[in-house]
Structure 1
């Protein structure tokens, strides 16, 4: 059920995405900022499936980052403001803008986002993956 689109276009962020597919996605296109996709352990079968998407966004503050869900896509943008905050002898840390898009599987939802130590962490749920067991009663034939 996983599909990829290369060269900076959206990728399908699905629970069953294999490590090989995600590694191929990471190699395609610009690759900035780098990211991880982690499946979080469920405590029981009735809990919804959760994913954690982590992007390395060192140098960006909360107000320079934007996380949107639009038409089934998770869009993350980083826009650093130009600052003349020093007389640099050498500037090796890139100040670049970015946009990453992820096509969300139907039913997936963003729980929240946080920025810690240069990592933007976005948590997602997939309520459709909840394991439900239903007992079907057998009625006697008439």
Structure 2
């Protein structure tokens, strides 16, 4: 079942990314190939592992644009092969992952038939909380001298 977000678009301003994300979640719930895992390594590091048995690095493209990570696979069929049984899927695919703000792709490599994608959250210094010095408070080690008016 697909939900139509159009009525909400008419009455909301500035929530376009939220509705795009909801639509993306709904769309990707229908996709099942290729299978993947998403793992949290620690607070700021993540790893996506995608099962790509039979694919070579030349047949896979990984691109990151804005907050979307796109993985595409195009399998080139070799002529002259006759299969008695074909259980390993080698169909073309396109899978997209929506990344949160400040998540960057650090690298990708093949390991035991899995494409492993390393991600890390890197918040810019300008966005991190910082302590601000408060001026104007009298230091506690200063004594005040009494003065008399003439």
1:58 and 2:78 equivalent?
A: no
RMSD: 2.7
- How far did 1:136 drift? 4.1
| Runs of 5+ unmatched residues, structure 1 | 9-27, 43-48
* Aligned counterparts of 1:71 and 1:81: Cα–Cα separation in 2: 29
- Which of residues 85, 101, 105 is equivalent to 2:100? 105
SS at 1:63 equivalent: helix
Number of equivalenced pairs: 116
TM superposition shift of 1:82: 1.0
More helix by share: 2
Give the drift of 1:88.
Answer: 2.3
- The 2-side partners of 1:31 and 1:106 are apart by 26
2:124 maps to 1:119? no
- Matched residue, 2:40: 39
Aligned position for 2:62 = 67
Relative contact order, higher structure (CA 8 A, sep 6+): 1
Answering whether residue 140 of structure 2 is matched by residue 139 of structure 1, we say no
C-alpha distance in structure 2 between counterparts of 1:100 and 1:61, whole Å: 17
TM-aligned CA deviation for residue 135 of structure 1 = 4.3
